[in-house]
Amino acid sequence: MTKRKIKSVKGMLCGAGMLAGLATIFSCTQAPGFKVEGHIQGARDTTLYFEALALDGVEVLDSVRLSADGAFQFVYSDTTCCPEFYRLRIGDQVINLSVDSTETIGVEARWPRMAFDYTVTGSGNCDTIRILSQRLANLEKRMVVMLDNRSYTLAEREDNVRQMVKAYKDSIKMDFIQNRYGAASSYYALFQSIGQMAVFDVRNDASDVIWVNAVANAWNSLYPGSQRAQNLCTLALRGRKNTRRHTIELNVDGEKVRETGIIDMGFPDIQGRERRLSELKGQVVLLDFTAYSSQMSQERIMIMRDLYAKYHERGLEIYQVSLDADEHYWKTVSGNLPWICVYNEEGVSHDMLTLYQVQQLNTYFLIDRDNNLVNRAENIPDLEKAIEALL
């Protein structure tokens, strides 16, 4: 990461320390610089950090211990040749900013809700980012209410959450990104996330990939050779490859299919050992295609723990295929699970999902003791009763 000169009025240099997916900050020209200044009311004696958001993490650039009036000012002695992303942070409360010139950006906020209760002047992009952040916070609140609503089944809550996210993305595409593809706020919108879940699935959703491609083209034209433009182009290329419709040519041994009753698969578990689905013949198997980063993952795992504890000794096994983009995150979550957890590094682009006609995550199937696939999630009104019947 390129080093830059920083001058803080009421601050001290803290040294190097994400907006997930944003590319590396770099400098291409010397310029008079820019300022970020303002007040954080009610935050006396707290430390305000000024940080750069990079592809490889967050870099702490400067900090200041706030006095009674909450005043702060960060001054840069140079700038970059394309929009860059920064944030002000106290604890886990953050205000995201973008800078693309020698602006003076004013921020007025109130602690302890500074992430939701602030105004910004001097930058249209920063104000748009403020609106985007507030919209995302509202979406997250509505999702939490839905997830806690036990009048719906788990499948219904998952579907409702998916519909909420889709409606949110559609509004962001039309209201913020369309015809503003080169804006820093459009770049920012593509990388919004709720917890571990990316709102825009830039790897696997064909509709999202179209918008990533549009922003990539604009940035490549406006800022040719910049690392952010290259990052967007790489994401768009991967997304097009992953979501390209293709015909799968199968050479499946008929005798083998009749013997197993399923289309077999084998993926590595956390120890790197290949675990094959066909090896579980003689047990009732819950085959689950999932992403641990999904909003409903924790509750699904709790339900599966109960089922596993109740029925494993009677012959139930769970074969859970993770499609998470982050292998390390999969290992972290799956390490303490008692059933078979395997990892599909190709994600939703893997042909196996097409063969099993997996249309959405999470999707599960039931396989009987003779290795016959007998049912899939949407046709199972009561999963526990369906397992009981097979046991």
- For 36-57, what is each residue's pLDDT tens digit? 999 999 999 999 999 998 877 8
- Quick check: 114 pLDDT over 80? yes
- Quick check: 338 pLDDT over 90? yes
| 93 and 197 belong to one structural domain | no
Summarised one tens digit per residue, pLDDT across range 313-331 is 999 999 999 888 778 888 8
Residues 119-142 have a mean pLDDT of 94
The pTM (predicted TM-score) of the whole model is 0.66
Last-in-domain residue among 224, 243, 262: 243
- Quick check: 64 pLDDT over 60? yes
| 259 and 386 belong to one structural domain | yes
| 170 and 61 belong to one structural domain | no
| 275 and 377 belong to one structural domain | yes
Give, for 140, the enclosing helix (H) or strand (E).
helix 124-147
> Residue 372: is the preceding peptide bond cis (ω within 30°)?
no
For residues 15 and 359, what is the distance between their CA atoms, to the nearest angstrom?
A: 46
Which residue in 186, 201, 211, 218 sits closest to 98, CA to CA?
A: 186
| 37 and 81 belong to one structural domain | yes
Domain containing residue 369: 254-390
| 353 and 263 belong to one structural domain | yes
- Show contacts of 223-227: CB within 8 Å, 24+ apart: 223/81, 223/82, 226/23, 226/26, 226/81, 226/82, 227/23, 227/24, 227/26, 227/55
| 268 and 386 belong to one structural domain | yes
Instruction: Please indicate, yes or no, if residue 367 is contained in any of the structural domains.
Output: yes
Q: 351 pLDDT band (50/70/90 cuts)?
A: low
Copy the structure tokens of residue 160.
Answer: 């409702």
Residues 17-35 have a mean pLDDT of 48
Number of domains making up the chain? 3
Residues 362-391 have a mean pLDDT of 87
Q: 77 pLDDT band (50/70/90 cuts)?
A: low
